[in-house]
Structure 1
Amino acid sequence: MIHPEFIDQRSGPVGRVVTSEEYPATAHEFYFWTAETEAARRLDIGHIVAAESEDATAIAVLDDPRRYSDLESFLDDFYAYDGDPALEALSERVEILVWCARVLDTCHRDPDRKSRRPVRSGPVYFATRRAIEFALGVEDFSGRRIPLLLHENGNEVDGGPQRTPLYVDEDYLLGPEAGHLNITGMSGLSTKTSHALFTIASIFQNVPDKKVAALMFNVKGADLLFLDKPVEPPQDAPDLAARYERAGQGGLSEEERRMYRALGLEERPFENFRVFAPLRYGVRGGVGTLDAASVSAGELNTLRNTPAESGCVYPIVWELGDVLPYAGRIFDPADYDDKFRGFVEELKARDIRTMADYEGLMREIEDYFQDAEDEGKTVSTWHGHHVATIRKAYNRFSGLPSKCAGLLVHGRVDYGGLPRVEDPFEDREMRVVDISQLSGVPQDLIVTSVIGRIWEMAEQGKLGVDKLIIFVDELNKYAPSGAKSSPLKETLVDISARGRHLNLTLFGAQQFRSKVDDEVVGNAATSLYGRIGDEEITNASYRSFSQTTREELLSLEKGRLLLRHAHYAVPVFGRFPRPPVLMGRQGTDIFGSRNLDIAEEVQATIRSLGHTPPSLPEVRALVEGVPKEKVIEELNRVRASFRNGMRGDPYRVLKRELGGGARRYDGRGSRILRGIDRLEG
């Protein structure tokens, strides 16, 4: 007898188990022919059914449909119609549709017993949500349930398809039992980044007993730069609503909202959100100390660059001492020989921290050789380094600032109390490192440095949270398959092997799974597959999938993925709704500088400093007639002052700086610099 709570009796039997000499039922798969009913006609690939085994119920995923008749060859049908397809048949030939069902799990009626017996001939039903959850091992989860996808079965419940969240086990996603997530699919068609965001949001909402944070690298446009902005504007913001409409940004559909409700998730953006980006090359010069708090978002190499964004956008700025450990990745390997490397080690040993320090040392070396020449001595080395090596280093270091593309400044950097990309994380923090405007060496440097420092923090127990998720797109670039190694690849392999024990989880995504290091993908207990190209699907990485499943992966629509998890005996298809945040071009279209007037920028800046700004008409009255560049200049000064500890009302300070409006604005510059103490409080 089949477990009554495991079968949808309202839909009735949708088929009957069939066995033959060629296709016997086994513990892992069986076949059944379908009934001629409305419910049976809804059967499709990926649906889940239940059938009776001996004292047990088998729950299985549909795969490999085939239609059979009693013809021995195609010629028999051709001759029956005399080769004329217009002829009417004397009688309809019987055809049956047969499905292969791959067993997810078998539930014995005695809860103390396990069953691996093949099913017996008998009726097949649609599986209920209760049966699907059992078959996916939910009852055996050691951690909390994290919904990743939504499975839709062919039976109807409450006027729509039966929907079951596809949960994964927290302990097998974030550790310590296993860990890591890998997503594969074609660029632009498989929604890899969207699902990574969806999964992180699901974790944030479903693990209340742990402090969790995420670090993501933005490599494409503005994909991850506006994750704190909702997918639709607040109802009390008509000006914002107009900008959303102009950008063609619509909200979630009713169907997507139903999916969120079925998954038990709220539709909300990431609230604790920070973006880090390097300086634009050439915007800051000089030999003195750079006050990082004075750097505005507009000076950073990011698409989130309006003055109002300075409250959540922060700089990544390096001194020469931060660059020297990566000299082997900056300079051409053929050029970076042992002699050159030895000179770089000399710089590190002498604690050369800045380009200014380096230039001072080069002047000393030049004086050393000049003094020797003046004394008539023939000297070809300095501290064991040949003059040719020193000249070579001088030439290569001359191009270092341009190679680093804004990362490297001339003097020292004072961050003060400003957040840094390698700081400990806060609970539910989403931290994005924007490298989308970089390429080659500087992009590689930032990823290598940030992940390396995070790994060191994890080993020292200084992450600040219980679990940290690191999302790396284009994983085949940073951890490629093959013997070629690099410090970054070695770190990623370490994270995949040991990270779950140090509270680090790697979420990796790539277009070609077969081109990622085997250890990295092999240690991922959870894998997702979107639409895949035919040149990839033929790789051995997909040999465990059936032919039908591989063919499905060639044509998956957006939002539909195949999920494989440590608890699942068979991978399962599911869907997910769009993340409820702005992604891509819509963020810059709505919140970019060309779409914000200066009054809105003032409002947003005041809000970013933790204060409630006045109404838009009041702000517009303040800035009316004042040159926009002057307002921006004063905004930047106010923001920098409050970042450095100034107290009081930032709008009041700005109002004083502008003299109360255009009629009293004298254009003589900021009074903050002339009397900051007077304005405090």
Structure 2
Amino acid sequence: MSFPAHSPGDQTGPGSPVGRVLGTQDASPLTFWVAVGSDAYLQLDDVVVTQRDLPDRGTVTISGVVTAVRARHEGAAFESDVFAIADGMLPAMVQEAAEITVTRVEPEIYVPPAPGAVAYRAHGETRDAALSFDRMQRRLPIGIGRDGAPLYLNTDFLDGSRGAHVSISGISGVATKTSFATFLLYSIFTSGVLGSKAESANTKALIFNVKGEDLLFLDHENNRLDEPTREAYHKLGLDAGAFKQVTVFAPARAGDPSGSPDVASRLTGVDPFYWTLSEFTEQRLLPYVFADADDERQQYTMVVHAVAAHLAREAQPAGGGISLDGTRLGSYDDFVDYIVEQLNDDETRSTWAGSSVGLGTVNAFARRLISSKRDLSRLIRGDLPGGRAHQISTADAGQVTVVDLHNLPDRAQRFVVGVTLKTEFERKEKAGTAKPLLFVVLDELNKYAPRDGTSPIKEVLLDIAERGRSLGVILIGAQQTASEVERRIVSNSAIRVVGRLDPAEASRPEYGFLPPTQRQRALLAKPGTMFVAQPEIPVPLAVEFPFPAWATRPSEAGAAPRATLASMVSATDPFAVVGSTRDGGIDDDEIPF
């Protein structure tokens, strides 16, 4: 097989010749096959380009990605012929062919490539054009392709300019969903795609940590970071290192009158969080105590909202607790017992729950409220002071805010996630502007926004998915099974990412954006390999992202950086106090891991 004279190292041509457009298979403007030369090869994900000259229209360049590769003996009639051919007793030749799915036609004259036309493995500017990277004004590096060159994401489809939100799916512990989400954040913060230093510094991230204490050391460099990993980051235009500004919140320790954070491995730089009884009643947080997926469809939710409204009207602050009808309540247990007592009293029941609610409905509410004491007593307190010091807020925190939930039972986790998202979304609504951006990383999204049923948390997440783009709230949701997540949340995600999948899950229609071969490959994808789909490229890209440069578990935690918010350039508040645990800095007397 012969090709036009072309040096493999020549960067001025379309690429290195690898074969010719196959004539025995139909070629269309969207897919075609290439016969691979005997001295060449094509693998899945390679970028291929060919050209066709049209009369009076010039040259059309047709680019695509390899989505299937096959090899066969030509000249064999029976399956047993393979042995005769291998022994040299039967003449035949091995021929490989690759299916090319078209990603770009330039100019946009949709004609099929001509059979026999030379096909090239694209490189350099030709490769970037084939993947539409040259059209991206703000290219966000997301990893390395199979050809060893960087791959990018169009930031316009991430920050709300033309689209927003990311959906990441894969098997827990194998798909590295959280690792990719944090790498995505690191690339956003350090690549410069957000514009000025001030804008980058003001952009925030809110991460909920649900598995161990793995995400509590994002501001510590990974002690397993080696030179090849640093080179991988440099190849993407990034410096390998830890997150510079991290604020960590952990729940107040149960029964501790000082309200110290309940963490084991990180001894400094952690702020406790809880809600006082006064804040709980004033902010009408009672519905988030009943945050199970099916609760909103039950009749007792009428009682929930009626009681919440009554508490907001009548409760008065009293020290760390509240006063109701002259009775001081100093703990969540006392608070629950008092409400149940009022609902059981015939004279006060209608005042609290309404006159049209039956006793059975009231009892259903009371049973669920009583059961919440075990899970929420440590979070809703009457023995600790109020104020902003214990509230989860990204506005007063570092660039990255980590909320630790792993020590909390499921019901308490739902409460914290729901109330925090509600508070942050309302704060962005009041600001009335999309800048600065807030990225929310939430794992186990199928638990908080399941496909069936409704709940206060699900309503907040739907609000973020449908209106968050205009308010600068970007959801990066991760889940094992996208098929079990609310459709409207998944469909509003402009970026979809898939890691290692379970075979049954891979067959679901939610993964219809993956070509058949990629669905099969997702069953055996190794950790660190993701398939990323974005609107401008019709074929998902197979991406390998580098090993985290920040600690992903306590054993990997090296020294923390001593950067402060002042070093991040804050044009809005040049007199801000830095160095506290609240702003992510490290005090001089702190001992970093």
Query: What's the TM-score bracket when you normalise by the shorter of the two chains?
Result: 0.7 to 0.9
Aligned-pair distance for 1:91?
3.5
| Contact kept? 2:288, 2:456, Cα under 8 Å | no
Distance 1:608 1:322, change over 3 A: farther
Aligned-pair distance for 1:380?
4.1
Q: 2:313 aligns with which of 349, 352, 367?
A: 349
Aligned residue for 1:127?
A: 122
Local SS of the residue matching 1:558: coil
Matches within 5 A, 1:41-56: 41=41, 43-54=42-53, 55-56=59-60
Q: 1:330 aligns with which of 289, 304, 320?
A: 289
CA distance in 1, matches of 2:6, 2:135: 19
CA distance in 2, matches of 1:201, 1:280: 31
CA distance in 2, matches of 1:555, 1:146: 27
Aligned-pair distance for 1:193?
0.8
CA distance in 2, matches of 1:445, 1:517: 19
Residue 222 of structure 1 pairs with residue 210 of structure 2: no
Matches within 5 A, 1:359-374: 360-361=326-327
CA distance in 2, matches of 1:59, 1:2: 21
CA distance in 1, matches of 2:363, 2:460: 34
| Contact kept? 2:288, 2:457, Cα under 8 Å | no
| Contact kept? 1:424, 1:462, Cα under 8 Å | no
Q: TM-score, normalised by structure 2?
A: 0.79
Aligned residue for 2:449?
A: 479
Structure 1: which 5+ runs fail to align?
Answer: 108-112, 154-162, 233-249, 285-293, 366-378, 592-603, 611-641, 652-681
Aligned residue for 1:448?
A: 418
CA distance in 2, matches of 1:569, 1:650: 52
Aligned-pair distance for 1:132?
2.1
| Contact kept? 1:221, 1:585, Cα under 8 Å | no
CA distance in 1, matches of 2:163, 2:10: 30
| Contact kept? 1:424, 1:464, Cα under 8 Å | no
Distance 1:11 1:105, change over 3 A: closer
CA distance in 1, matches of 2:216, 2:413: 17
Aligned residue for 1:61?
A: 65
| Contact kept? 2:204, 2:394, Cα under 8 Å | no
Aligned-pair distance for 1:339?
5.4
Distance 1:411 1:425, change over 3 A: closer
Cα deviation per residue 1:460-511 (whole Å; 9 max; x = unaligned)?
A: 11789511101111111111113x1112112211211221111111111111
Distance 1:35 1:525, change over 3 A: same
Distance 1:269 1:397, change over 3 A: same
Letter in 2 for 1:316: F
Aligned residue for 1:88?
A: 87
| Contact kept? 1:6, 1:127, Cα under 8 Å | no
Aligned-pair distance for 1:424?
1.6
CA distance in 1, matches of 2:380, 2:35: 68
CA distance in 1, matches of 2:549, 2:588: 31
Aligned-pair distance for 1:69?
3.0
Q: Which has the larger radius of gyration?
A: 1
Residue 151 of structure 1 pairs with residue 145 of structure 2: yes
Aligned-pair distance for 1:8?
8.0
Aligned-pair distance for 1:220?
0.4
Aligned-pair distance for 1:568?
0.8
Aligned-pair distance for 1:281?
1.4
Q: 2:168 aligns with which of 166, 183, 188?
A: 183
Q: 1:301 aligns with which of 257, 262, 265?
A: 262
Distance 1:386 1:164, change over 3 A: closer
Distance 1:68 1:276, change over 3 A: same
CA distance in 1, matches of 2:153, 2:458: 27
Distance 1:13 1:464, change over 3 A: closer
| Contact kept? 1:213, 1:465, Cα under 8 Å | no
| Contact kept? 1:147, 1:263, Cα under 8 Å | yes
Cα deviation per residue 1:85-132 (whole Å; 9 max; x = unaligned)?
A: 9x834234222111101111123xxxxx43322222222221012122
| Contact kept? 2:307, 2:352, Cα under 8 Å | no
Letter in 2 for 1:535: A
| Contact kept? 1:51, 1:125, Cα under 8 Å | yes
Distance 1:77 1:65, change over 3 A: same
Matches within 5 A, 1:293-442: 295=259, 299-306=260-267, 309=268, 312-324=269-281, 325-330=284-289, 336=300, 338=302, 342-353=306-317, 355-358=321-324, 360-361=326-327, 380-382=346-348, 384-385=350-351, 401-411=373-383, 413-415=385-387, 418=389, 420-424=391-395, 429-442=399-412
Letter in 1 for 2:272: P
Cα deviation per residue 1:409-460 (whole Å; 9 max; x = unaligned)?
A: 12462336x373125256x700011111112211100000000111111111
Q: 1:136 aligns with which of 131, 136, 156?
A: 131
Distance 1:481 1:401, change over 3 A: closer
Cα deviation per residue 1:39-77 (whole Å; 9 max; x = unaligned)?
A: x24x21111122123312222111211123345754562
Instruction: Tell me how large the CA RMSD over aligned residues is.
Output: 3.7
Aligned residue for 2:577?
A: none
Residue 512 of structure 1 pairs with residue 481 of structure 2: yes
* More off after superposition, 564-573 vs 539-548: 539-548
CA distance in 1, matches of 2:89, 2:363: 95
* More off after superposition, 117-126 vs 548-557: 117-126
| Contact kept? 2:245, 2:564, Cα under 8 Å | no
Distance 1:463 1:323, change over 3 A: farther
Local SS of the residue matching 1:224: helix
* More off after superposition, 127-136 vs 573-582: 127-136
CA distance in 2, matches of 1:466, 1:522: 24
Aligned residue for 1:492?
A: 461
Aligned residue for 2:56?
A: none
CA distance in 1, matches of 2:375, 2:11: 64
CA distance in 2, matches of 1:145, 1:454: 28
Aligned-pair distance for 1:385?
4.7
Aligned-pair distance for 1:300?
1.5
CA distance in 2, matches of 1:216, 1:551: 31
* More off after superposition, 527-536 vs 456-465: 456-465
Aligned residue for 1:260?
A: 233
| Contact kept? 1:184, 1:512, Cα under 8 Å | yes
Residue 117 of structure 1 pairs with residue 111 of structure 2: yes
| Contact kept? 2:514, 2:539, Cα under 8 Å | no
Matches within 5 A, 1:595-606: none
| Contact kept? 2:203, 2:436, Cα under 8 Å | yes
| Contact kept? 2:31, 2:100, Cα under 8 Å | yes
Residue 194 of structure 1 pairs with residue 173 of structure 2: no
Distance 1:46 1:422, change over 3 A: same
Aligned residue for 1:596?
A: none
Letter in 2 for 1:527: R
| Contact kept? 2:62, 2:102, Cα under 8 Å | yes
| Contact kept? 1:183, 1:192, Cα under 8 Å | yes
CA distance in 1, matches of 2:323, 2:495: 49
Aligned residue for 2:532?
A: 563
| Contact kept? 2:303, 2:365, Cα under 8 Å | no
**Structure with bigger RCO (C-alpha 8 Å, 6+ apart):** 2
Aligned-pair distance for 1:3?
12
CA distance in 2, matches of 1:385, 1:571: 58
| Contact kept? 2:270, 2:581, Cα under 8 Å | no
Distance 1:2 1:514, change over 3 A: farther
Letter in 2 for 1:59: S
Aligned-pair distance for 1:540?
1.1
